[in-house]
Structure 1
Amino acid sequence: MITSNGYVLDERPERLGRLEAVPASLRDDRDALWERIRRDGYLYLGGHLDPALVNDFRSYYFGELEPTGLVAPSGVAEGIDADGEIDRGLTRSTLFDEIVPGDQYAALTSHPTIRGWFQWFLGDDVHLHKRRIIRHTRPGENGIGTATQAHYDLVYLREGTDRVLSMWIPLGDCAVETGGLAYLEGSHHRVMAQERAGRLKMPAASITADLPGLADEYDTRWLVNDYTAGDVMVHSAHIVHASTDNVDPARRIRLSTDIRYQRISDPIDWRWQDHWSDEDGL
């Protein structure tokens, strides 16, 4: 049973499917990749990063947060949940004052295998938005607001270009049961049509936590996958996506980061040029 924010996803074939990874034969074909992202709204690049790169950052992240009570002392490298109360004030200060503005996070998000890929794919010098988000979800958390609700990124990035691309990076293995990202198949086509018609000039907000209801409304499927360390997802600003609940029986904490790159020559949303904070209003 797959859930998101406590809602049970409909697992019939017409409502649930698997993401399609880019075949190895197309990985170096930029035109084919552009055709694919226009068609699907996403590029699933399996094994794009060295697994050691993301696993080393995972170990660093949970090592920094160990004093908060988040992780079991014997499970820091793996990010095993301590299953107890945490010091929320210390968690917040460690995350926003140390990890987010820190050198380790900057090195990961601007790594040549990431920045260089965007330069190649976009055919221009690129800009990485300074507002980069790290999320961790403890196993057993459920109910509205615990998993990422259905949304598309453009509603949060309206002051710049709509040609910004997001990269979602699972920081460690991330199966569906650990709270991986899910995409609403083909939703970017409907969203772009509604944007062109001027019907979606809404405030920055999620669409809904009710993923099965949204799949019925769009008459389409949620696409999921079991991600492994080194996989990345690149997606357009228009495709609707969300995450599943973390019900990992091994009590692994789900950890991921999402970052945004664009051509430096396109308009840049000025509100995204400061470090991420839970009080930045975005």
Structure 2
Amino acid sequence: MLTTTPLPQLYSYGHALEMADDKVGLLRDSTDAAHDREELHRRFAADGYLYLPGYLDRDEVLAARASLTDGLAAAGVLDPTHPAIDAVCRPGAGYVFKPELTNNNPRIQQLLYAGRLPEFYAMFFNEPIRHYDFTWLRAIGPGKGTNPHCDLPYMGRGTHSHMTCWVPYGDISFTLGGLMILEGSHKRMDLLESYVYRDVDAYCENKPKDADAAKAGKWTFTGTLSHNPPVVRNKFGGRWLTTEFKAGDFITFGMFLVHASLDNRSDNRLRISSDSRYQRASEPVDDRWVGLNPPGHSTAGKRGRIC
């Protein structure tokens, strides 16, 4: 989608994006095709993502936000002189990764795993689905956003056709900084192949430094594609696509799409979002992310090999 009005200067991972029309743009709205499986498949194949603004119930999303901000307040992340729902953070909050706030949280579990979202994925896949039991909850304070990457290096031990769902818990302006995707990047396997099939939790057990890092729960490969979004765009082509998100929006994409986020350039507010994952129930699942206490990237999730 081409912009009809000039966008403000955008920043990602500390870098000013090049704002020419062939380098940045707005996400394509697919609400007109929300119930048309064939058209959704065409757009997903062409674009690598589906953006559905207003698909979720706004009040339900905001109620889920309240459950999260209450948890963040209890954890001491928020400034107590402001209402918790405003998500005004203490100075230096930075990147707050607290997936535990989604566990046994009925509002989050209902929103992500029992309502319109699983119905959407069952319709899209046209067969029974399952979701990961682990939910990635992020609260990002003022500063750098997420650097460019694909999701497969973090969750590629099962099917490769599962999908990420990104949900904002509140309205996200360009200043607060939301998700952005690199247009057409899912088709650039000539640039991705040597990167995207690597596993962040695999290590060379015959290399002592790698083995020691794995035993300490660390990565020898972080899964990062680059720390410089403008350079990535110039290499891959296409445009960085984003928008100002509203509570009730969601965007979904596959494992081979390069994405990142804008920087949070607000004075003191957290940007709160979650990632959840869905796949066909008939396909193998990455066992790092399922079960009562998924091992994730802990030492239990590491996999040694001879290099």
TM-score by length of 2: 0.80
Correspondence for 1:221: 239
| Match in the other structure for 1:102 | 104
Mapped contact 2:289–2:295 kept (Cα < 8 A): no
**Given the alignment, which residue of 20, 26, 33 partners 2:28?**
20
3-state DSSP of counterpart to 1:10: coil
After TM superposition, give the deviation of residue 273 of structure 1 in Å. 1.1
Structure showing greater Rg? 2
The residue number in structure 2 matching 1:130 is 133
Task: Flag the 1:85–1:231 CA change in 2: closer, same or farther, 3 A.
Answer: closer
2:258 equivalent to 1:240: yes
- Pick aligned residue for 2:55 from 39, 48, 52: 48
CA deviation profile, 1:236-272 (whole Å, cap 9, x unmatched)? 11110001110125x3310000011001001111111
The CA deviation string for residues 115-140 of structure 1, in whole angstroms up to 9 with x for no partner, is: 1111111111111011210001112x
Q: How does 1:196-207 map to 2 (within 5 A)?
A: 200-204=196-200, 205-207=223-225
Retained in 2: the 8 A contact 1:51–1:229? yes
SS of 2:175's equivalent? Answer: helix
Partner of 2:84 in structure 1?
76
Q: Does 1:261 align with 2:244?
A: no
Q: Spell out, residue by residue over 1:92-113, the C-alpha distance to the aligned partner (whole angstroms, 9 max, x if none).
A: 8xx455x132233322221321
Deviation at 1:200, TM superposition (A): 4.5
Residue 179 of structure 1 corresponds to which residue in structure 2? 177
Q: SS of the residue aligned with 1:176?
A: coil
Give the alignment's Cα RMSD to 1 decimal.
Answer: 2.4
Change (3 A) 1:175 1:276: farther
Q: Is the 8 A contact 1:177 1:247 kept in 2?
A: yes
Name the residue aligned to 1:35. 42
CA deviation vs aligned residue, 1:2-34 (integer Å, no higher than 9, x gap): 21221111111111111111142x221110000
Structure 1, unmatched stretches of 5+, are none
Residues 52 and 119 of structure 1, relative CA distance in 2, 3 Å threshold: same
Give the number of equivalent residue pairs: 267
Query: Which structure 2 residue ranges, 5 or more long, are not aligned?
Result: 1-8, 201-222, 302-307
Structure 1 residues 23 and 61: CA distance shift in structure 2, 3 A = closer
TM-score, structure 1 normalization:
0.86
